[in-house]
Amino acid sequence: MSRARKIGYFTAWSIYDRGYFPADVPVERLTHINYAFAKLENNRIQLGDAWADVDKPYSSTEYGQGDIKGNFGEFNNDNSPVRRRNPALRSLISVGGWSWSGGFSAMAASQHSRAEFVRSAGEFLQRYKFDGIDIDWEHPVEGGMDGNPHSPDDGRNYLQLLHELRHHLDTQLAPPRFGRYEITIATSAAPTVYRHLDLAAIAQVVDHINVMTYDYAGSWSKVTGHQQNLFRPSAGDSGINGNDTVSDYINRGVPAHKVVLGLGFYGRGFSNVDHHASPFPNLPGLGCAFSGVPPGTWEAGSFDYKALRKSHLLPGSDFTTHWDDAAKAPILYSANDRVLISFEDPVAVSWKADYVLKRGLGGIMIWELSQDYEGELLAKICEYLG
């Protein structure tokens, strides 16, 4: 059986309008849960949503007096029915993300502030019984949300932070349930962003690197394109694809078994697309100009796979699926609506899971679990990775 990691991000906000709870997670099919997100404030890790994280009572769970409630308790308490379904599940707290990465640059810039963060990380892991920490700094030196501070020294400071975090967790804390706290990071698939990191040196410190090999195309693009294609496409090439990114990480010194391929359980849409301008008739609308994005599932232009399965992919829908065999990626196109959606389906997922095995990669990372349709995409991953 494959030893590849199957890592799923669970978002705190999924328990609200999405109605997706820890008990809904197919934990039996995962090796890791990355809980998104804790935030960084005043150089310390803080709860991202106290109600969801530690306060919400779960009537289905029999807690003893003084034990943790909330989503943390569901995933981390040894008496939780969720954890009992997979006692080998490793849970990591993910810190930062797109919205909460603004404090990393200043925190990493000095030994004193790094020490504050490292101590708070240890306290957080012990208090809430996590098995490790996932640093999701988006992004050192350049990139990320508009207004986030950056420094030319971010890359060097990031490496130092990881070294200090590794030393503290290994030497200052009692071992966790699996013997050693894991440290992982989430990184960009864009060379213009990850070029600032000493990936080979980072790989010596962390357990694995979750590469966000998605969001290649979207509202920011000049023409329509695949948002997470594995190989170079027939048209609408954004200049990024999974294979080239993985190869570059390995060429920069990251062992293949520490590279984890990111996979998004969602699609990106484009409006006012004229398929008549498409250079490939069997891929209508791909590589064409567009204007704006259509309404999405929760935000404009972004569609949960679950939502696509319940509407766009049904017989009788205005949308037709087309397969780009060069990219190993599908698109949906409606000539009536003039809308193109780049998404991930079971066939594309199969190609990526097989690719992970053939290249000896560390596994697959999923953003994010609530977007799947009845566990369909995860099940396809498991057909290959066990």
Which residues are marked as active site?
138
**DSSP characters for 29-80?**
G-SEEEEEEEEEETTEEE-S-HIIIII---TTS-PPTT---HHHHHHH-TT-
> Could you please report the per-residue DSSP string of 301-349?
TEEEHHHHHHTTTSTT-S-EEEEETTTTEEEEEETTTTEEEE---HHHH
Candidates 305, 316, 310; CA nearest to 346 is 305
Map residue 185 onto helix, strand or coil: strand
Residue listed under structure tokens 């766009």: 312
Exposure pattern of 9-19 as b/e (b: 16+ CB <10 Å)? bbbbbbbeebe
- Tell me the C-alpha distance between 160 and 289, whole Å: 44
DSSP letter assigned to residue 211: E
Q: First CA to last CA across the chain, in angstroms?
A: 6
CB-based burial label for 78 (10 Å; 0-12, 13-18, 19+): exposed
Single-letter amino acid, residue 67: D
